[in-house]
């Protein structure tokens, strides 16, 4: 993180994102067509990721080798969950549910993927910084998240999704539910050590939604500190999503004033 290789990747992604958005803004393709392309890219991205991280590990009796993917690669991070949402909105019929999901994807794909690129977890969990341009996982990570930024930005630009102030609150609700689920998933995939029935230590293999520990090296030594950390990230999420929805609120306010 914050190395020369990282800044090069950020520059490359910025150029790709800007160029793609300019192209989309000029051509204005239907959102359905953009989602179709995203579906294909999602499948290719997951294939590259899986083939890059899967390992052949001996069985417990040593009689055979079995394919194994470490738990931090499971698709329970917010950006990975976007894959399911992309397929849903691509094939779902127009309606309230589809609009709610698109309204959720708008800020979470845009901001979430941008933050992931700014703080790439792969350099601390999967590959070395020196492999930033030699390992397929680095290309998969930065290009996939660039696609999410473009998609998130295009949802309001396409003119097909009617975003309303209520979607700000539904987005916070969905995000909160996912964050709550991550608490269970992170504990479920943790390796706990017991002595005489007493919990001695725990080793976390996952950090979905960063509810286990901060993405930055900030130690948490008590429940109180962890609760403060959760409160900070909740407030930060509400503020960043609110920033995305600020034009929606202003538009609704202007419309209400004009109707008086």
pLDDT confidence tier of residue 260, bands split at 50, 70 and 90: low
Does pLDDT of 259 surpass 70?
A: no
Q: Report whether 39 contacts 90 (CB < 8 A).
A: yes
Q: Which residue has the tokens 């991280």?
A: 53
Mean pLDDT of the chain: 93
Determine the pLDDT at residue 40.
Answer: 98
pLDDT digits (tens, 9 = 90+) for 7-38: 999 999 999 999 999 999 999 999 999 999 99
**SS in 3 state form for 200-259?**
EEEECCCCHHHCCCCCCCCCCCCHHHHHHHHHHHHHHHHHHHHHHHHHHHHHHHHHHHHC
φ, ψ for residue 252, nearest 5 deg: -65, -40
pLDDT, average across residues 31-55: 96
Q: Identify the pLDDT of residue 63.
A: 87
In angstroms, rounded to a whole number, what is the distance separating the alpha carbons of residues 191 and 59?
Answer: 19
The predicted model gives 181-210 an average pLDDT of 89
36 burial class (0-12, 13-18, 19+ CB within 10 angstroms)? Answer: middle
- Buried b / exposed e over 242-258, threshold 16 CB at 10 Å, is eebbeebeeeeeeeeee
Residue 196 pLDDT:
85
Per-residue pLDDT for 246 more than 70? yes
Residue 258 has pLDDT above 80, yes or no: no
Is residue 103 scored above 90 in pLDDT?
yes
pLDDT exceeding 70 applies to what percent of the chain?
Answer: 99
Judged by DSSP in three states, 110 sits in helix
Q: pLDDT tens for residues 108-153?
A: 999 999 999 999 988 878 888 889 999 999 999 999 999 999 999 9
């Amino acid at each position: 993180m914050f190395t020369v290789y990282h800044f090069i990747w950020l520059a490359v992604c910025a150029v790709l994102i800007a160029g793609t958005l300019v192209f989309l803004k000029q051509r204005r393709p239907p959102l359905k067509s953009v989602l179709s392309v995203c579906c294909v890219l999602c499948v290719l991205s997951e294939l590259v990721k899986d083939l890059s991280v899967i390992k052949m590990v001996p069985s417990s009796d040593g009689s055979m080798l079995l394919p194994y993917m470490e738990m931090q690669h499971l698709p329970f991070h917010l950006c990975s969950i976007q894959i399911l949402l992309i397929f849903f909105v691509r094939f779902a019929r127009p309606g309230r549910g589809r609009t709610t999901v698109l309204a959720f994807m708008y800020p979470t794909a845009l901001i979430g993927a941008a933050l992931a690129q700014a703080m790439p977890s792969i350099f601390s969990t999967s590959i070395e910084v020196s492999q930033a341009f030699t390992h397929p996982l680095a290309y998969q990570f930065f290009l996939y998240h660039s696609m999410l930024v473009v998609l998130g930005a295009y949802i309001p630009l396409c003119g097909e999704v009617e975003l309303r102030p209520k979607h700000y609150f539904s987005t916070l609700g969905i995000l909160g539910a996912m964050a709550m689920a991550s608490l269970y998933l992170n504990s479920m995939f943790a390796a706990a050590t017991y002595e005489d029935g007493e919990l001695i230590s725990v080793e976390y293999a996952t950090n979905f939604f960063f509810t286990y520990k901060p993405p930055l090296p900030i130690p948490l030594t008590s429940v109180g500190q962890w609760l403060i950390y959760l409160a900070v990230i909740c407030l930060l999420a509400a503020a960043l999503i609110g920033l995305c929805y600020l034009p929606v609120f202003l538009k609704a306010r202007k419309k209400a004033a004009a109707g008086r």
